[in-house]
Structure formats: C-alpha cells, structure tokens
Structure 1
Amino acid sequence: MSEGMGSGDAPRESMTGDVVDSVALSRLWDERWPGCSKLPSELRAARNRWVRFHALPGSKRYPGTEDEYGIVLARHSTILAELVAGSEVLVVTAGYSDASEPQEPCRSPETVAVRPDAMYWTSVCMDDEPGFESWMHLYVSQLVWSAGVLDPLLRQVADDVIANAFIADVGLRWLYHPYDGGMDVILSSSAERDALRDRHRDWLSTHPAGL
C-alpha cells in the first residue's frame, strides 16, 4: 500500500444525499488508497498508518456480559467520535459468492437487517485458484453520524456474526475496520496514527506486532 494519498476533494456525487455513486467512490478510492486492496482484513498492510486497538481489557476476545458489551461499544464510539469530522460516514458491508458478480441474496440476513439500505459497490476476489474461486461483494450506505448509530452493527461484529465491515468518512481520509476483538484504524498519515495511538495506549495489544 502506498504511503502517498491523493489530495483532491471527494467527488461531489459521493458526498450528497443517501445514494452513493459507486463509480465516483471507486475513483476516489484509487486516488486516496492507490494499490490498496478493498478486503477489510488486508487494510492493515498500511503498517505506517495503521493501529489496532482491543475492544476489552486484557485483550479478551468476546464480551460475555452486558457490562462487557458496554465497554466494547464505548471504545468503538470513542474512537469513531475522534475520527468523524463531518456529519456523515460511509458504512461498507460484505456478501459472498463463487461468482464475480453478486448473486442475491449474498449478504447474510443479519447483515441486511443492520444495513438494509446498502447498495452494491464492487467485488473483490478472495481466492482465484481455478475451481475454487470465491468473491467478496461490497455494499455501501451513507448515514448521518451520531454516537450509538452503529451499535447494532458493531454488536454483531463483536459476536462474530458479521465480518468484513468497515467504516470511512465520505472523503475516504480514514478507514475503520471493526472485528471480533477490536478495531483496525488506518489514518491519512503516520503522525495522525501516532497521535491516536498515544491517546489510547491502554487499549493497545502487548503483541510485538501490535496484533
């Protein structure tokens, strides 16, 4: 993944209204994140702009009580509140099939339930071995940000019911990938990453690679 990112403003089509222009969004992605895979699990390849926070004390993976769910959602809310600069965010969720084009329904019922308004954006090959091809189909929706608005999605992610979702600002200046156990955050510069990491050192992993 390239360190450099385009400095142009987001195309107007991708920033207005509830309908996201998928062509404009793909063009903006190529400007902001040249050469970057859209597979959420691969976003952390931007090592010099990536930081991972764990969602529970002691790096516990899954919440087991309502109090622990509260901690998980509070940590997500805290980080997102520091990232979101405008009024809206993009939410990307995934479906799967063995074809390069989505064959509905490819998103799980749980995913559709939390993002029913999502529109098909693009598809990414996960495995191109002949006879074993598999594809991830990404769907995007735009919503007005407020604290707790993504809690239904994030709770399903915490339980590993929904995977491969990510959140971004409408200008794609940062990417936020929640997973069962924590969150990967990719920022526009190493300095921004360092500042965010330093504000929440208690949430970092003790793993030498930050995982």
Structure 2
Amino acid sequence: MSGAPLPDPDPAHERLTRLWQAHRPPGPLLPHELKKVHANRWVRFHSLPESKRYAEDEAEYAILLDRYNTVLDALFAGGEAYVVTTDWGGLSEPTDLSARRAALHPEGTLWTTLDDTDDPDPAFHTRWYFYADRRPWERGCLDPLLRAVADDTLSGVFVTDPDLTRIHHPYDGGADVVLPTPEERDRLRAQHSAWLSALPSGY
C-alpha cells in the first residue's frame, strides 16, 4: 500500500500526517491492521455480554454504547481526539463516495488517501479516503456513529489522541484499542476483564 498525495491538503491535518509518516510501518494504516502492527499494546473488548455481535433491542444498544464510551473516556477524557472515518473506491473515482459516512461525520474533511495496489490485477486496486476532525472529547459525542458501526452499516472508523499513542477502532461486536505502553494496556484490560474474548488470541 502507498499513500497518494492530496491536491489540497487541509493544514489542520498536517501534524497528523507527519505522525503517521513517522510510524513504523510508515504512513496511514487501515483500522483493521492496527491490532497486528501494535500487537504488544493492543487489546480487544467485546461490546455485548457473551461476545454477542449485534444488539437486538434498546437495552442492548445501551450496553454497547456504554462499553464503547467507557473505554473512550479512559483514553480521551479531558483532552482532544481526532475522529477518523474512511471511504474507498477505484483509483480514479471521486472522493465523496458515501453519503452515509458524510451524514454521520459531517465535520470530517479529507485528510489523506491510501492506495492498495498489492493485487497483481489492476482491476482490484483500491484507493482509501481518510476524513478527520479534531474535537474536545465528550462522552456520547459519537453515539450515532458508534451505533452505525455496531450495526455494521459503517466501518473503517477510529479515534486517536493528537499524538497517535491511544487509538480506538470500533467494529460490529467490539473495539480494538491501542495504548501507549504494554503496561497501560494491561491495566485497562484488567479493569474490564469481563469484556474480553475467551479465546487465548484475544480475538
């Protein structure tokens, strides 16, 4: 994969871009890759009891939103966070691909792109578009977006602190979380041990 240059980069995102480029591997990552790249600082929390994947009523939505927000508070309370959403399409397609993504993340402006050209067939090459906004963290501010993620009607979302040391990637069924150190990861994991996978892999 490689990052594609933006024609008109948003100056507000330049620092975030520099941090991504300083990471190893350098450049932006797709959210689902975080657990492998940062395995020593990663933990996964399930969003419903008994690892149930999807909510069936408002009581279960309340549980999963509380779990999401409890971990997000632990990562970002009292500070600021970048909220990042993604779209994807062919290499020549326009950037405004998803009306649903834009409706759920209207504050997001195009931050960067990522070209996936690993497949030998050019017909399967893909360009990912990353949209970001920076905001003071407030519990509940992402509930509509998180609910869409939980329903699997929106994916490729993550939240990070301005230094890219704390990352929360929600998905349908739970969230992948990256902490600054293995020790901090272990403390958070111990605080919410009932939300962990029963599998030895942590998945």
Aligned to 2:7: none
How many Å apart are 1:34 and its aligned residue? 2.3
Alignment of 1:141 with 2:133, yes or no, is yes
- Aligned counterpart in structure 1 of residue 32 of structure 2, from 36, 41, 45: 41
Q: TM-score, normalised by structure 2?
A: 0.88
Aligned to 2:18: 27
Corresponding residue SS for 2:154:
coil
How many Å apart are 1:40 and its aligned residue? 0.2
- Aligned counterpart in structure 2 of residue 70 of structure 1, from 62, 65, 69: 62
Alignment of 1:124 with 2:111, yes or no, is no
Corresponding residue SS for 2:163:
coil
**Relative contact order, higher structure (CA 8 A, sep 6+):** 2
Whole-angstrom CA distance in 1 between matches of 2:116 and 2:21:
19
How many Å apart are 1:118 and its aligned residue? 0.8
Aligned to 1:61: 53
Amino acid aligned to 1:28: L
The question of whether the paired residues in 1 share the 8 Å contact of 2:77 and 2:138 is answered with: no
Whole-angstrom CA distance in 1 between matches of 2:127 and 2:39:
25
The question of whether the paired residues in 2 share the 8 Å contact of 1:54 and 1:183 is answered with: yes
Whole-angstrom CA distance in 2 between matches of 1:126 and 1:28:
20
Higher mean C-alpha displacement, 146-155 vs 110-119:
110-119
How many Å apart are 1:201 and its aligned residue? 0.4
4+ runs deviating over 3 angstroms: none
- Percent identity (aligned): 43
How many Å apart are 1:128 and its aligned residue? 3.2
- Aligned counterpart in structure 2 of residue 153 of structure 1, from 145, 158, 182: 145
Q: How many residues align?
A: 190
Q: TM-score, normalised by structure 1?
A: 0.85
How many Å apart are 1:117 and its aligned residue? 1.8
Higher mean C-alpha displacement, 47-56 vs 131-140:
131-140
Runs of 5+ consecutive residues of structure 2 not aligned to the other structure = 1-9
How many Å apart are 1:110 and its aligned residue? 1.7
Corresponding residue SS for 2:123:
coil
Amino acid aligned to 2:116: M
Corresponding residue SS for 1:53:
strand
Aligned to 1:10: none
Whole-angstrom CA distance in 1 between matches of 2:173 and 2:84:
19
The question of whether the paired residues in 2 share the 8 Å contact of 1:53 and 1:204 is answered with: yes
Alignment of 1:188 with 2:175, yes or no, is no
Alignment of 1:91 with 2:83, yes or no, is yes
The question of whether the paired residues in 1 share the 8 Å contact of 2:42 and 2:185 is answered with: yes
Alignment of 1:114 with 2:100, yes or no, is no
